[in-house]
Amino acid sequence: MINNQIFQNFLQSKSLFSLTNKTKKVFTVNVDNTIEDALYELSSNRVLSVPVLDQGSFTGFLGMEDIVDFYLTKTAASGQRVQLTAKISALNLPPNKALCLPDLCNAVTAVEVFQTGIHRIALIDKNSVINNLFSQSDAVRLLWEGMKQDENLKKEALSITLPGGAVTSCKATDSVWDGLKVLRDTGFNALAVLDEDGKLCGNLSIRDFRGLAADHIAALSTNMTIKDFLSTKSPGSLNPITLNENNNLFLAIQTLIVNAVHGLWLVDADNRVAGRISMTDIMRLVVAAPAVAPKAVAPRPFPVSLCVEVRGLADLSHKATSVQVALGEEEKDSPTFDVPGRVVILGSPFVANFTITKEMAAKNDKLKFTVFDDGNEIATCSKGVTWVLNGFGTGKTVLALEDSLHLRPSANGAAKRSKAQSSGVIDVALTRSA
């Protein structure tokens, strides 16, 4: 649960389905493929992980770190270079159902998963088929876009200071083989690379191995130094992105996005490492952000804003062309959206988002949905909404609303129809806007 209501409201109003790139192809590997096959997919697509399927079912992610760890372990045990011809099943990747979420979940769920150290989630549709991926990078980018538009969100991020903490380092002259073993043994996702004076001169992480092929992996068991490896394969890591140790969450997110990196080193005035901020740390800071102090309670009636997300329609005997959403009795200027392709199937790929504002809301309100077919009203449904404020504009809002509402045939225009109307369902998600 996210403590801070401003972060909570913002993330809750965003569905993962609406945030993903619908044109991006999701490639997968099978447990019966070889590790070398998986490495080829990772290298050719320049990504760090790939979903693994077993008889069509998602079982988890295979990452570059898993392949490197396999190579390190087997080589150390045998004393010889290991071929990567074993099947992926030999890696014994444990199934992790937390890595798989319905694509209609909101961003709160993703952030809560990411703060546990998980880096990416497979999104599945209603048929349990993977249709996209959502990563820590996507979540950080979402926060950044939100802070650019919402001053309250930005203000909260500016108020959160960055923690220090223990870091693991290595020397630029150490072998890349030894650096990899430190990454594996400590569980850290990055090492600070230090020069002869103990000052930061580089960064070694699993991202530096993006695009490596099987022969490159074998070369890691030589005495190549970290500096030589980075100079050849990842020269940008010899100029690590840093922040002053006394900085805040807003500047950390801004720096991550602007520089397209996954972590930042916190340094003092002498460029000595004082800590590190990873994307997992960003997620933890958001989840643990202190709650906003309540303001003075204002008398009713009061203005309200409601974020409405309509995700699909189902089970109507006539095709729908548009849906109108109204809060209270003010239907005249209520927002109306078109249904793409006259689709009436629940979970169809359309999502409509609205923020409805009402200047004088009573404690008890009504939310009404009306479905039209070429201007003719064919179905409607309404639901009571109860507002509960513990403080004006900042208190917790309770909506007495289910995820799916049942439509009923509309009497308007029914005589023009030759066949009977049937009931239907409208799938919605509601949150109080910040």
pLDDT digits (tens, 9 = 90+) for 56-96: 888 888 888 888 888 877 877 776 777 788 898 888 776 55
Mean model confidence pLDDT for the chain: 78
Q: Provide the pLDDT for residue 321.
A: 72
Tell which wins on pLDDT, 228 or 397.
Answer: 228
Report the range of poorest mean pLDDT among 9-13, 119-123, 211-215: 211-215
- Beta bridge pairs of residue 404: 427
pLDDT digits (tens, 9 = 90+) for 18-65: 888 777 788 899 989 998 888 888 888 888 888 988 888 888 888 888
Q: Provide the pLDDT for residue 325.
A: 76
Report the range of poorest mean pLDDT among 179-193, 198-212, 274-288, 392-406: 392-406
Sketch out the chain's domains with CATH numbers: 5-135 (3.10.580.10), 169-288 (3.10.580.10), 302-432 (2.60.40)
Tell which wins on pLDDT, 198 or 342.
Answer: 198
Tell which wins on pLDDT, 300 or 184.
Answer: 184
pTM value is 0.66
- Beta bridge pairs of residue 62: 50
Q: Provide the pLDDT for residue 359.
A: 63
pLDDT digits (tens, 9 = 90+) for 160-203: 998 876 788 999 999 988 888 888 888 788 999 999 999 999 99
Q: Provide the pLDDT for residue 394.
A: 33
For residue 6, give the nearest of 298, 286, 302 by alpha carbon: 286
Q: Provide the pLDDT for residue 180.
A: 86
